[in-house]
């Protein structure tokens, strides 16, 4: 941290604020930051505003500032295989068991792995996807029905349930050992 006398230079100060927020689970007050960095509370409030303007997700509480951390839900990649006509059944099965189908990946003989975002999260988004999907039959034939989906759910247990359901319906191409 670069200091000019007893004061911290603004970019270094904002970097220190961000670092402290990242390492704290408790709110940190502007006064505490000011004392740490040798500036007034008002300077810290302006620094927080500048950090927010840069897109840093900082939340204000009556006890200080917190960094909003994105929640990373459990994800699993399922290797599956089915005929083109079973696409709706496969995706509906995942949705019904609490999963969200984030993408599809295929191994193309010439181009390697090709992926596309799906974001199928509900029966309505499944219906919209199926109506807009143009060439699935050709892709399915090209890979003999093999593909992968990244599935997100609220818990590992939900992903286990989805895996079991896919296995029971014969969709898993590589069952878990």
Q: Which domains are delineated in the chain?
A: 3-67 (1.10.10.10), 75-168 (3.30.1340.20)
The pLDDT of residue 8 is: 57
Tell me the pLDDT of the chain (177 aa) as tens digits.
Answer: 545 554 558 888 999 999 999 998 899 999 999 999 999 999 999 999 999 999 999 999 889 999 988 778 999 999 999 887 888 999 999 999 999 999 989 887 787 888 888 889 999 989 888 887 655 555 666 678 889 999 999 999 999 999 999 999 999 986 444
CA distances from 111 to 62, 86, 102, 146 (A): 54, 25, 21, 16
Q: What CA–CA distance (Å, rounded) separates 102 from 149?
A: 7
SS (H, E, C) the chain: CCEECCEECHHHHHHHHHHHHHCCCCCECHHHHHHHHCCCHHHHHHHHHHHHHCCCCEEEECCEEEECCCCCCCEEEEEEECCHHHHHHHHHHHHHCCCEEEEEEEEECCCEEEEEEEEECCHHHHHHHHHHCCCHHHHHHHCCCEEEEEEECCCHHHHHHHHHHHHHCCCECCCCC
The pLDDT of residue 159 is: 98
Closest CA to 87 of 47, 46, 61, 120: 120
The pLDDT of residue 141 is: 66
């Amino acid at each position: 941290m670069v200091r000019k006398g007893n004061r911290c230079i603004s970019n270094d100060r904002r970097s220190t604020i961000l670092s402290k927020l990242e390492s704290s689970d408790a709110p940190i007050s502007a006064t505490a930051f000011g004392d740490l960095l040798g500036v007034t509370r008002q300077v810290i409030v302006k620094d927080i505003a500048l950090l927010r303007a840069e897109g840093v997700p900082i939340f204000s509480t009556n006890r200080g500032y917190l960094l909003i951390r994105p929640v990373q839900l459990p994800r699993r990649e399922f290797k599956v295989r089915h005929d083109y006509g079973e696409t709706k059944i496969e995706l509906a099965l995942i949705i019904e068991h609490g999963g969200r189908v984030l993408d599809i990946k295929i191994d193309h003989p010439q181009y390697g792995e090709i992926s596309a975002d799906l974001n199928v999260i509900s029966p309505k988004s499944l219906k919209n996807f199926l109506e807009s999907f143009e060439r699935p039959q050709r892709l399915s034939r090209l890979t003999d029905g093999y593909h992968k989906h990244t599935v997100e759910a609220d818990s590992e247990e939900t992903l286990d349930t989805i895996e079991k359901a896919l296995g029971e319906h014969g969709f898993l191409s590589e069952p878990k050992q």
